[in-house]
Chains A and B, each alone.
Chain A
Amino acid sequence: MGHIKLSQVSKRFGEVEVIPPLDLTIADGEFTVFVGPSGCGKSTLLRLIAGLEDVSAGHIEIDGADTTHVPPAKRGLAMVFQSYALYPHMSVKKNIAFPMRMAGVPLEEQERRISAAAEALNLTDYLDRRPGQLSGGQRQRVAIGRAIVREPQAFLFDEPLSNLDAALRVGMRMEIAELHKKLKTTMIYVTHDQVEAMTMADKIVVLRAGVIEQVGSPLELYHAPCNEFVAGFIGSPKMNLIKGAEAQKHGAATIGIRPEHVDVSASEGLWKATVGVAEHLGSDTFLHIHGVPGCDPLTVRVDGELPVKHGDEIFLTPQLEKLHRFDAQGLRVA
């Protein structure tokens, strides 16, 4: 069980209100991702749930019990830190055993859980090493192992992959997602990388300056972002936001169209424009296009085979049914 409920939770550091009062419910077994730009309060929110920071106001419930003032160790949550926070003078095995040792788990049971975790995380050959003798990915796995053996109500991850290189990041992303499928335990995962959020989450919570902008499944956020911020944050490459006369034609202050929802033609279309930089990824090509009124450059995603190059004149037509409209406050117009 790992049902977490925040009611009117807020946090201030001195005079600065980092998190204005917010409500959030995380269902049991759900993989929830907090995503938002750096400094928006994601870590603070996670630390409030963990109990490492005290709330300034509001209540936190875990499984129906009020845990607002319960110390971190008693909340039944395990956390994986950005710096891994392994104990450098202990072997991998001792690191993983530490929470069980503190809880007084019998030795045989400890051994059983350690070998199970080591097996699941490919750490069996490294149990006697010190953290300093491991690679970044292995350290990450030890930190996860230390969390798993506690058999917590929920896992909390604070940007666990941000110290890894790109290739390893993709691999670990899969491993954590698979771990969730296997354990079916509630997980809360903090990241500033919307790709991580989109690929792993059951539910994404988009934060800006401590305020929840939108909560929803990855595809809900992709198809129906509730405001310009979410529209620009979710999706890669970013959604094109067009202001001015073009937007007014659609009765909105701003219109948004994703790069993959613009048709390209050599002979006819709504907008005539010039290709700036063309980024060839092989499977796709991203074109940065100049000359569209109200948005410069406009990004378009086309098939990798399409023969376009810098300086070409082309015609663009947005797919009208995929167009997003926002009012002067940046809110979505249905």
Chain B
Amino acid sequence: MATHHSRSAARLMMAPAVVLLLGWMLVPLTMTLYFSFKKYLPLRGGDLGWVGFDNYVRFVSSSAFWPSVLTTLTLVGGVLLITVVLGVVLAILLNQPMWGQGMVRILVIAPFFVMPTVSALVWKNMFMDPNYGLLAHLWEFFGAQPVEWLSQASLPSIVMIVSWQWLPFATLILLTAIQSLDSEQLEAAEMDGAPAHKRFAFITLPHLGRAITVVILIQTIFLLSIFAEIFVTTGGAFGTKTLTYLIFQRVLESQNVGLGSAGGVYAIILANIIAIFLMRIVGKNLAK
């Protein structure tokens, strides 16, 4: 029972965690806001005083801004599409009784445990390298000219690498959802005359709706801040500069902390717009 006494004791004991979390979030946020209103060039004179909204105007009016927003949305959208579609397919396959099911499931989950930097390096050097990559060998085997993946099809390549990393997550969530589907519903639909593809469309897919929204929501949050995969593969060249990467370039390559901070604030706003938008949909879906 939560008496007055035990409640205040609980609050006291929670306090350190709350303070730590608040500090963790508030300090960087305040510093970002603080620098975004300053002209701050660490290697070229340091703190050069307040400049009002100058940084904000310059960040948006730079020719790299809108392309970077578009790249971000393409990357996130592409990865979501691939992981959700393949995730549903894999979840259905993994749910079938088969020999060595446990082993196969572990193998499918494995990419999730590989660090982003490592997986990007593996893809870059072992698969996508135009001279000695596996894909190059495959292309040559069929007599085709090997593709220079990371320069000719740079954004799709990164979408592929990131999808490979996130597919296990989507599969895992969707597999647990599919396992909770009452098999009698499928049998009832079968007796009602629904062939396999209609059973999927009318029974399985609606049942997965909630899990799919959860996958989309969680993945979006993480995908908006994709960095290592771009840094390791293209370094932001060939149209792979996302908003996150643009901010990184402004702060570290141009050594313009003020401008980068303003970009950071834009990124926060973008993330929140998407989050509110998604929450609406998810809220609607979860309320059912």
Contact = CB atoms under 8 A, between A and B. Distances in A.
Interface of A: 50-52, 71-73, 77-79, 81-83, 85-89, 98-99, 102-103, 146, 150
B192 A102 contact: yes
Contacts of A50: 191
A146 B192 contact: yes
B194 interface: yes
A151 B182 CA distance: 25
Interface string B183-223: 01101111111110010001100110100000000000000
B191 A98 contact: no
Nearest to B188: A85
Nearest to A52: B187
Contacts of B190: 52, 71-73
Interface string B44-67: 000000000000000000000000
| Chain B facing A: main interface SS | helix
B4 interface: no
A89 B193 contact: no
**Interface size class for chain B?**
10 to 19
Contact of A83 (B182, B192, B198): B182
Specify which of B189, B193, B203 lies most central, judged by the most chain A CB atoms within 10 Å of its CB.
B193
B177 to A, nearest CB: 13
A98 B189 contact: yes
B207 A73 contact: no
Nearest to B190: A72
A44 to B, nearest CB: 13
Contacts of B187: 52, 72, 79, 81, 85
A153 to B, nearest CB: 12
29 contacts: A50-B191, A51-B191, A52-B190, A72-B191, A73-B190, A73-B192, A73-B194, A77-B191, A78-B191, A79-B187, A79-B188, A81-B184, A81-B188, A83-B182, A85-B184, A85-B185, A85-B187, A86-B185, A87-B189, A87-B202, A88-B207, A98-B189, A98-B194, A98-B202, A99-B193, A102-B194, A102-B198, A146-B188, A150-B192
